[in-house]
Structure 1
């Protein structure tokens, strides 16, 4: 008996696209390659996605939908910690999608994806921030999340290609104590691939800023 082909759905198309983006990068994704990965003709994809931008938006939504939400009854600090930790884990698993989000090439357009944004804003509003300040803090947190993930995936010590002189040697030769004293002093740490900021620590600093600066919960504190 012939094996029945799995029904093609939007979710299956998006998950296949996410796998391609994770393994090959955004620029390598084409409708033809995606169709081949799910065993259909390229035109069949357009029954589930309108165009490539709709595809990328859907993939971004799938990533956001994976983020678990904390109990809304928890204190706002615990909710922010949990949301940031979960989002960071999901984003770290899909750095190419984060790059697309940061570059404006994708947006998480689904109601389920927006539950993360709603939960994060709810925690910030419960901290006593007004709506405008909560949005500013939300955007700061998202910038921290994206920056942390992208900083992990790109580094001066791991540039693509094979230059004539390794980048670490170029830095060591170029950064001199007389011309660039502070950079020279910090260079060993800068070239240490293990020396990356801890995201959890950054979140704690962020929370302390909200708690220790009551002016941030009013328009006059902007």
Structure 2
């Protein structure tokens, strides 16, 4: 008996694209390779994605859709922390997609992806921020999330400079205590692959500042996280 072929859906196409980029990089992403992964002809993909940009937007949306949302009844600081924690996990699993998001090459265009954005904005509004301040803080948090992922995956300890000299060797040869004293002092930590950004500490500082400027001055339902 012939095995029944799995029905091709937009979600299956997007998940296959995420897997392809994760394992082989952006350079290997093509409609032909993607079609081969899902067992169809390349033209069949266009029944589910309109073009390359739609594919990239869909991949970004799939990443956002995986972010776990906290209980909306929790106090706003706990919601912000939980949302950032889960977003960091999901973004860290797909650093290539985060790079595309940060560069403006993809946007998470799906109702499911918007739920994360709505939840984070809701928590910031409950902190006592007005609409414009909430948007500014949301964008700051998103930049922190993207930056944390990109810093872990694109540090100088991992990069390569000239073909005949690793970038870490170039730094060690070029950075001197006389000309660049602060960089020279911190260079061993900078090139240490284990010295990565402490994301939880960054969120702690963000929340402390937000509570000092907005949360402490808020009153009524905003200060308790209730709507």
User: Shorter-chain TM-score category?
Assistant: over 0.9
On the 8 A contact 2:10/2:48 being kept in 1, the answer is yes
Q: Using structure 1 for the length normalisation, give the TM-score.
A: 0.94
Distance apart, 1:26 and its partner CA? 2.1
Note the 1:41-56 alignment, pairs <5 A: 41-56=41-56
| Distance of aligned partners of 1:20 and 1:217 in 2 relative to their CA distance in 1, 3 Å threshold | farther
Match of 1:195, SS state, is coil
Could you tell me how far apart the structure 1 residues matched to 2:214 and 2:57 are? 37
* Alpha-carbon offset, residue 24 of structure 1: 1.5
Q: What is the deviation of 1:177? A: 1.1
Distance in 2, matches of 1:213 and 1:75, equals 17
**Partner of 1:46: helix, strand, or coil?**
helix
User: Cα RMSD between the aligned structures?
Assistant: 1.7
Q: How does 1:84-95 map to 2 (within 5 A)?
A: 84-95=84-95
Contact 1:124 1:134 in 2 (8 A): yes
What is the match of residue 224 of structure 2? none
More divergent stretch after superposition (190-199 vs 123-132): 190-199
After superposing on structure 2, the runs of 4+ consecutive aligned residues of structure 1 that deviate more than 6 Å are 215-218
1:38 and 1:88 mapped to 2: Cα distance? 29
Other-structure match for 1:129 = 129
Shift of 1:171: 1.4
Alignment size in residue pairs: 218
Closer, same or farther: CA 29–5 of 1 in aligned 2, 3 Å = same
Residue 149 (structure 1) aligns with: 149
1:178-209, Cα deviation, whole Å (9 max, x unpaired): 11111111111112111122101100100001
Cα distance, 1:217 vs. partner? Answer: 7.9
Tell me the SS of whatever aligns to 1:107: coil
Tell me the residue number matched to 1:67.
67
Instruction: Say whether 1:169 aligns with 2:169.
Output: yes
Q: How does 1:1-222 map to 2 (within 5 A)?
A: 1-160=1-160, 163-214=163-214
For structure 1, the residue ranges without an aligned partner over 5 or more in a row are none
CA distance in 1, matches of 2:162, 2:4: 48
- Give CA deviations for 1:42-94 in whole Å, capped at 9, x if unaligned: 11111111111111111111110000100000000000000000000000000
* Post-superposition CA distance 1:157-192 (Å, at most 9, x none): 222477323322221221111111111111111121
Name the TM-score, length of structure 2 as normaliser. Answer: 0.92
Give, in whole Å, the separation in 1 of the partners of 2:197 and 2:22. 24
